[in-house]
Amino acid sequence: MNKTLSKAARGILFTLLSQCTVTEQLTFNAMYFPKDYDSKLSVKEMSEQLGNDKLDHAISQCENTLVKKEVRNIVNSKTDIENIIYRAILSGRNDREIESSAIASKEVMDVVVNPLYKEIKRLEEFEWMYNDLNK
């Protein structure tokens, strides 16, 4: 591998490993440095000592780990926001109060709140029609 590319890849790996949790870093250490596992290499040592032939795969694994962590955070946020919205709707709040009580990003509002609110409105309309037919 070209020295410039190797240096750039090691910098990327260092940055990605720095964003991982300690547990994730220990897992990386165990996978790529099984002989040095007891010494628990630092992030800098791991990124410097990893063989050129393993850099690409290591970077991909770190990227995937960070993406999965972000997805977990979004899913957890979504669940929290759904609970907030559900409680707000049950308490009879209006659209504006529900949106302000959620304090969520626009993406989460679009993905979670708006479809949930539309479904509730649809069910309310269905309930109204059902009650009207059974009078």
Q: What stretches of 20-113 show up as alpha helix (H) in DSSP?
A: 22-32, 43-49, 52-90, 95-102, 106-108
Predicted confidence (pLDDT) per residue in 15-56, tens digit: 999 999 999 999 999 899 888 667 788 899 999 999 999 999
- Cβ contact 84:101 at 8 Å: yes
CA dihedral 91, 94, 96, 98 (to 10 degrees): 30
Classify residue 81 as exposed, middle or buried by CB count within 10 Å of its CB (0-12, 13-18, 19+).
buried
- pTM check: above 0.75: no
Please indicate whether residue 12 or residue 67 has the higher confidence score (pLDDT). 12
Burial of 96 (0-12, 13-18, 19+ CB in 10 A): exposed
The amino acid at residue 38 is: D
* Nearest Cα residue to 64 out of 32, 24, 92: 24
Separation CA 2–CA 95 (nearest Å): 58
86-110 tens-digit pLDDT: 665 555 555 555 555 555 455 556 6
